[in-house]
Amino acid sequence: MCALKRLPVRSLASGAKLDIPVYTIKGCNPHAKRAYIQSSMHGSEVQGNAVIAALLEVFEQTPPEGDVVLVPNANPFAINQKSAEYTLGRFDPTTGENWNRNYWLPTTRVTQRPAWKTLQRKVWAQMASAIRARLEDNLSFGERLALKLQLLTVGADYVIDLHCANISARHLYAPQYAEACARYFQIPLMLSIPNDFGGAMDESVSCAWWTFWHELQAQGYPDLPPRRELPQGYTLELGGHEVISRDAAKRDAAGVVNFLRHKGIVAGRAQKPKSGFVCSLQDYKTIYSRHAGHVDFTATLGSCVAKGGLLAQTLQFGRTASWQPTLAEESCIPVLHHSSAVIHEGSELMKVFTKVRKV
Ligand SMILES: [Zn+2]
């Protein structure tokens, strides 16, 4: 059964009120794990909304085993920020801040050490009351929105934040401790992230539990689970921004369902992960343009380019027309590139995986 609630998030100067839809699908097995999935925190990154629509269809046919909370259009203010045809969805237009850097890392201070399941419930309860207390503070809209969303994630074993990036191949961010689990999303390009909180939603889950796990380990807690069984936060980058594809969303949703199957939240046997590439976050390189002009991005996103291979060529007009090549300084996999062909010197041209591990 699917229940819909609308969560109020902002009143506008005109008197209009913004809210977000929260769909809660009750699982048939009370012992199964739980998932939280949101999309469009960045307003121009809309493919995740189509994926949530596809998941709603899937769960209408076959209810999940565990509870699943689905939150599309998570940042209605950002979605409504248009300039000409474009959606300015990634940054708060009034502060310039990235909407996905406002999450908070709650610290846990649990003195008793009961069995893991009980301890986990106590930690979640503590996180929820800490977030509620913080929501009483004097906060910017971005911080308040992030905390309201974060409160919805408490109690979920798996938190999946659906994004898109510039013009890009599908890739995902996974905590290092959950690389093996992340492969079940069937997305072949993976960024492995360390326990280093930078304000993103996925990190607010993974880093909190990762740090807590290390504390327990240091204290010799006897019921310590393997790290891969901790709650996990993921960011999935589902192609380029400003576009959706219903067909692609069915494939994206199938990957999410495969992950949920692997975790027992959806019944049935998960398909084995396909082969792919893993890159540590520190080896994810931004290439800034050495040439100003109009760029033809020649490299195929998601495919390996050898050292010295052509990544892009930039059209310039001097005495005559010329094309300035940008060559790979080391072997790499281009993952995303600038959304426009019009590029100044020193702009972010593209991002590439380097020092990849094949899995
Ligand atoms: Zn994003």
| DSSP, residue by residue, 239-282 | S-TT---HHHHHHHHHHHHHHHHHTTSSSSPPPPPPP-EEEEGG
CA of 165 relative to ligand 1 center, distance in Å: 6
Helix ranges (DSSP H) in the chain: 47-61, 76-79, 116-135, 141-153, 179-182, 201-218, 246-262
Q: Helix count (H) and strand count (E) of the chain?
A: 7, 20
pLDDT score of 107: 84
pLDDT score of 108: 82
Residue type, 53: A
Every domain range in the chain assigned CATH 3.40.630.10: 2-274
pLDDT score of 1: 82
CA 3 to chain centre: 24
Counting as low any pLDDT under 50, the low residues of the chain are none
Residue among 232, 98, 208, 101 at smallest CA distance from 158: 232
Say how many residues make up the chain.
359
- Do residues 114 and 122 make contact, with C-beta atoms less than 8 angstroms apart? yes
The Cα 68–Cα 12 span in angstroms is 30
What CATH number was assigned to the domain covering residues 2-274?
A: 3.40.630.10
- Do residues 235 and 172 make contact, with C-beta atoms less than 8 angstroms apart? yes
CA of 200 relative to ligand 1 center, distance in Å: 10
CA of 346 relative to ligand 1 center, distance in Å: 22
Per the DSSP assignment, residues forming a β-bridge with 311 are none
Q: Is the pTM of this model over 0.95?
A: yes
CA of 166 relative to ligand 1 center, distance in Å: 9
CA of 89 relative to ligand 1 center, distance in Å: 8
Every domain range in the chain assigned CATH 2.40.50.100: 284-358
Tokens 């082969």 correspond to 275
Phi (first) and psi of residue 97, to 5 degrees:
-80, 145
CA of 99 relative to ligand 1 center, distance in Å: 8
The Cα 331–Cα 334 span in angstroms is 10
Q: How far is CA 295 from CA 97, 254, 316, in A?
A: 28, 35, 9
CA of 235 relative to ligand 1 center, distance in Å: 9
CA of 164 relative to ligand 1 center, distance in Å: 5
Give the dihedral sign, CA 111/199/279/189.
Answer: positive
The Cα 20–Cα 75 span in angstroms is 7
pLDDT score of 260: 98
CA of 160 relative to ligand 1 center, distance in Å: 12
DSSP state of 40: -
**Enclosing H/E stretch for 8:** strand 2-11
CA of 44 relative to ligand 1 center, distance in Å: 8
CA of 322 relative to ligand 1 center, distance in Å: 35
CA of 98 relative to ligand 1 center, distance in Å: 9
Helix, strand, or coil (residue 295): strand
CA of 102 relative to ligand 1 center, distance in Å: 13
Q: Is 284-358 a CATH 3.30.565.10 domain?
A: no
CA of 348 relative to ligand 1 center, distance in Å: 16
